[in-house]
Amino acid sequence: MVARTDRTTDPELLQALLQARRGTAFFARKLNELSDAQLDGESLLPGWTRRHITAHIGYNARAIARLVEWAATGVETPMYASTSVRDHEINFGATLSPIALRHLFDHSAVHLNVEWRDLPEDGWHHKVRTIQGREVPATETVWMRTREVWMHAVDLANGATFNDIPAPVLERLLEDITGAWKARGTDAGLLIKVTGTDLTFGDTTSASPVVVSGPLAAVVEWAAGRGAHGVTATGVAAHGGAATNEVPAAPKWI
């Protein structure tokens, strides 16, 4: 008989799964607050309506479920055939009727949750490959989904803010974003400090860095390219800015 609870007993993984499920529930709440007509409204992402966000989250669940199936069976099932196929899928999904779009989100979320629930303990350590070509253990699929549902709930532009995202998720987002900058070398001379904590990211070797600081939620919002509300910057003039308090645009993340 199929298990009705998670087969893993790893406490850290169970906590991560809980965070992903809470994020899915939060996204669902913000989506369900929107009328069908409001789905046509603009999201916080340039060029995407709320329809695009919803379609993306739905198809993302299906794509991640394919990776979990890969971990369970050993049969390679990529997330997408290509990035162009992914983009076409999202654009197509945005044309669905409101009820079909909502069903896409609901059903794909349930499917992914079942795949996670029924994955045997050893299956979580099997390697799968992301759309970027990274080989990661199946445990990484939980974070991949967590990041998507929490951030895109904000992108629905329906009242959610980065302050609604749990601190552990925000911290890992900041690690991911600044890690991507460092890998590309785009963080040179840029130092990020989270006020009220000892969290510091970016170029710690610069003698005269641009220092961007603020509360955790505000710093992550800025780093993710969603705005500079609540953050301040110093040292900008020394790096070509118009004024010492001008907050520079964050480097590209993804």
The mean pLDDT of 96-113, rounded to a whole number, is 98
Tokens describing residue 61: 């669940």
Q: Structure pTM?
A: 0.93
Is residue 237's pLDDT more than 60?
no
Q: Provide the pLDDT confidence category of residue 204 given band limits of 50, 70 and 90.
A: confident
The mean pLDDT of 182-187, rounded to a whole number, is 92
The rounded distance, in Å, linking the Cα atoms of 188 and 204 is 9
- Residue pair 234/222 in contact by the 8 Å Cβ criterion: no
The full set of domains in the chain, from first to last, is 11-159 (1.20.120.450), 167-239 (3.30.1050.20)
**Amino acid (1-letter code) at residue 11:** P
pLDDT for the residue numbered 92: 97
- Residue pair 71/112 in contact by the 8 Å Cβ criterion: no
Of 221, 237, 238, nearest to 229 by C-alpha is: 221
Q: Provide the pLDDT confidence category of residue 246 given band limits of 50, 70 and 90.
A: confident
Order across the sheet with 232-234: list the strands. Answer: 200-202, 190-194, 210-214, 232-234
The mean pLDDT of 118-125, rounded to a whole number, is 97
- H or E element that contains 194: strand 190-194
